[in-house]
Amino acid sequence: VIFPEGEIYHHHESLDDLNEGVAAIALRVADGQPADRRLHLVPVALRYAYGDAVARSFPRRLERLERRIWWKPRADLPVVERIVRLGRGLLAVKEEEFLGHAQTGTLGERLRGFQLHLAAEVERRLGIDSGDQRLPHRVKIARQRIRQRLTANPPPTAEEVRALQSDIDRLFLVVQAYSYPLPYMTATPTVSRIAETLFKIEEDAFGAGEHPEPRSATVRSAAPTHVAAFVGARGMTFKSAATPLIGHLAGAIQSLLGA
């Protein structure tokens, strides 16, 4: 079983970008198989959900988070508004720390700007040209470059190690910020989506989130994809089919999550 998102995200109804490793492995194996054997890729979706009872925990948990940043609890505001307001405040703290000032714009624009600034800063120090790659891929490449430098021979100096470790921390913040797809909660504020977002904020603010109520877990699978037949039907080679195959897998899993 391979989890191709590569990270743990707390938005269980929305699939994030898939890494191509699962497709590369499947294609490599399928390419070397005898004609009488078939390799199949089976899309599987795991979806967690809360019951309505979890909503009873929202006021207490929001008050705890608001007090965490020395705010007066705003029990008079709707839950979603309190979460967005809290997000703006927490982001402003990190913007002040890493950018020297809080940004202007909507919360979504600020989150995106914060991610891009930190990622570009690390890439510049590492000599990486990111091109038009998406952020998860950029973080992956930067982490690989850092590992190479930390394990180089001759080894890096103590000062270089400190700088590389600082870059690791910045990349972690990029992933943290990327893990909040704002419209996921605000556009469809279901009890489960609010609970997932609140859990993520608690995890980032306190080091651990809270599951005050049981969750259900649903596992669904789709029809297996015969890898060699998938490649042949598109007139491709096994070496060139990774992107279409991972796109096919992503579409199947997202359909299962929305079922």
* pLDDT value at 93 more than 80: yes
Q: What is the pLDDT of residues 198-252, one digit of tens each?
A: 999 999 999 999 999 999 999 999 999 999 999 999 999 999 999 999 999 999 9
* pLDDT value at 44 more than 90: yes
Q: What is the pLDDT of residues 153-171, one digit of tens each?
A: 999 999 999 999 999 999 9
Q: What is the pLDDT of residues 48-90, one digit of tens each?
A: 999 999 999 999 999 999 999 999 999 999 999 999 999 999 9
Alpha helices in the chain (DSSP H): 21-31, 58-68, 79-98, 107-126, 135-150, 158-178, 182-186, 191-206, 227-233, 242-257
Question: pLDDT-based confidence at 33, cuts 50/70/90?
Answer: confident
Question: pLDDT-based confidence at 182, cuts 50/70/90?
Answer: confident
Q: What is the pLDDT of residues 184-208, one digit of tens each?
A: 999 999 999 999 999 999 999 999 9
Exposure string over 230-252, b if 16+ CB within 10 A, otherwise e? bbeeeebebeebbeebbebbbeb
DSSP string, 182-224: HHHHHTS--HHHHHHHHHHHHHHHHSS----S-EEEEEEE-PP
Q: CA geometry: angle at 152 spanning 146 and 155, to 5°?
A: 105
Which residues touch 147 (CB under 8 Å, ≥6 apart)? Answer: none
Q: Please answer whether residues 83 and 62 qualify as being in contact, where contact means their C-beta atoms are separated by less than 8 angstroms.
A: yes
44: three-class secondary structure by DSSP: strand
Q: What is the pLDDT of residues 107-155, one digit of tens each?
A: 999 999 999 999 999 999 999 998 778 898 899 999 999 999 999 999 9
* pLDDT the model gives residue 181: 87
The pTM assigned to this predicted structure is 0.88
- Long-range pairs for 184-192: beta carbons < 8 A, 24 or more residues apart: 184/11, 184/13, 184/14, 185/80, 185/83, 186/80, 186/84, 189/79, 189/80, 191/50, 191/51, 191/52, 191/54, 191/55, 192/12, 192/13, 192/48, 192/49, 192/50, 192/54
* pLDDT value at 37 more than 90: no
